Structure 1
Amino acid sequence: MIPLLSSFYFGSVEHYRLLARHDRVIIDIGEHYERQSYRTRTSIVGPNGTNDLIVQIERRSGEKMPMHSVGLSYAESWPQQHLHAIRSAYGQTPWFIHYIDEIEAVLLKKYDRLVDLNMATIALGLKWLGLTSMPFVSTHYVEGDEYRITEAGCGPVDPSAPLDERKPLLDIRSTLHPKKPLPPALSPIRPYPQVFADRHAFVPRMSVIDLVCNCGPDAKRIIRSHGA
């Protein structure tokens, strides 16, 4: 099956477990934007517990927006706030120094669209974890339960397409969500070291930033050994 995901900002450990296990993953940027989702947020564990880092977007009142048309707002200094929170959470970990420059470069660059920022953060996560396959991006809303991926791109299945080119979808766009239980298709990850575990115990479903800053190169093994 091919996992079908929404666009995501940095992404949770669960996102990368899927990317590690599946050679092909589709990110749908033709779907409508949804508030309070991974599309604009990632979660880290700081000294005071879980901290949601939320991207600010240009809002259009009363209008549904396809993800690929959602613009970013820099009226507030959210990139600097995110960097400050990341430094406060992980500045004392031994691996922090290996990742912060790349995080800073991505966050301080200005992007017009949310999806462009998200893809830049996903590219970082893939690099850190040694994953070489970039997700396929669909600019049109994905409907149906099959998809076709070729060297030329990806798209809805043509009924005349050979059966070996048709791939069933694992659609978790609406279920892999920070406000919802983990989808049945994903098993909970086993605890890994977290810098504030003595205060808050292990906090699951955190950002890939949490994983790499706490575990360094061992994150590559963890992400594969905890495959969905």
Structure 2
Amino acid sequence: MTRVAIDLHYLPSLEFFTAIDGAEELLLFPQDLYQRQSFLNRTRILLANKVETLSIPIQGRRPRIPMREVKIDYGQKWQAIHLRGIQSAYGKAPFFEYFFPYFQPILERQHSNLWDLNLQLLTICLKLLRRPVKITVLENKETIGEIVDLRGQIVPKGAFYNRSYYQATPYPQLFGLDFEPNLSILDLLFCVGPEAEKVLKQSLKKP
């Protein structure tokens, strides 16, 4: 069994899903520390005239605390902004009406912490990709057996093409003449639907 330790990103990128290709079990560590300038609370979508970063506001000064303790700031109307942005970006996408109802109720719910929100979204993404992956949440930092540890590897700093997981494989997008790679998994799901997993397989970076 391939066991992969990974950070819990918000609506993860295509690079995330190519990195965990072949994993039979994902190991998640809620006691790992929250990292600033990461994908833990941000994702990228394609609008008509630009790539937009959707960020979830975090309460407080973002000290180095365990992921499970990171609280979402609902004083800012981020849910409405994110839902409106997603609908504006993908409302006319071929598979939007089919897939959006899976995400909408999760994004409308007031999760008290970032961990629970991200975990629910990842579970839905894996289901829609039809990946039979077991998710295991480990409360301590020690693991038994051999694992592939990808924590801290997929970060905004540095480009995806300098890492070893994802290569840009164009698929039909709604906007622009040039293909925009490595967006949120939402872009792929809404644009190609059941072909999403096939595109991810084609996007695996060759050794």
TM-score of the aligned structures, taking structure 2 as reference length: 0.89
One of 162, 167, 181 as aligned partner of 1:204:
181
In the alignment, does 2:127 pair up with 1:127?
Answer: yes
Quick check: which one's strand share is greater?
Answer: 1
TM-score by length of 1: 0.82
Q: 1:175 maps to what in 2? A: 153
Residue 193 (structure 2) pairs with residue 222 (structure 1): no
Whichever residue aligns with residue 181 of structure 1, its letter is A
1:15 alignment partner in structure 2: 16
Distance 1:22 1:179 in 2: 25
Residue 143 of structure 2 is aligned with which of 136, 156, 175? 156
CA drift at 1:208: 0.5
Distance 1:60 1:184 in 2: 30
User: 2 CA distance for matches of 1:116 and 1:94?
Assistant: 29
1:114 is matched with 114
Give the whole-Å Cα distance in 1 for the aligned partners of 2:184 and 2:94: 18
Measured in 1, the distance between the counterparts of 2:41 and 2:138 equals: 18
RMSD: 1.9
Distance 1:39 1:47 in 2: 25
SS of equivalent to 2:6: strand
Letter in 1 for 2:128: W
Amino acid of the structure 1 residue aligned with 2:191: N
8 Å Cα contact 1:20-1:131 kept in structure 2: no
**What is the aligned residue count?**
203
Report the CA distance between 1:36 and its aligned residue: 2.4
Rounded Cα–Cα distance in structure 2 between residues aligned with 1:134 and 1:122: 12
Are 1:77 and 2:77 counterparts?
Answer: yes
Residues 31 and 5 (structure 1), Cα distance of their counterparts in 2 relative to 1, 3 Å cut: same
- Structure with bigger gyration radius: 1
Task: Check 1:4–1:185 CA distance in 2 against 1; reply closer, same or farther (3 A cut).
Answer: farther
Residue 192 (structure 1) shift: 1.6
CA distance in 2: counterparts of 1:105 and 1:36, whole angstroms: 27
Query: Over residues 67-105 of structure 1, what are the superposed CA-to-partner deviations in whole Å (9 max), with x where a residue is unaligned?
Result: 011111110110110011111111111211112222211
Unaligned 5+ residue runs, structure 2? Answer: none
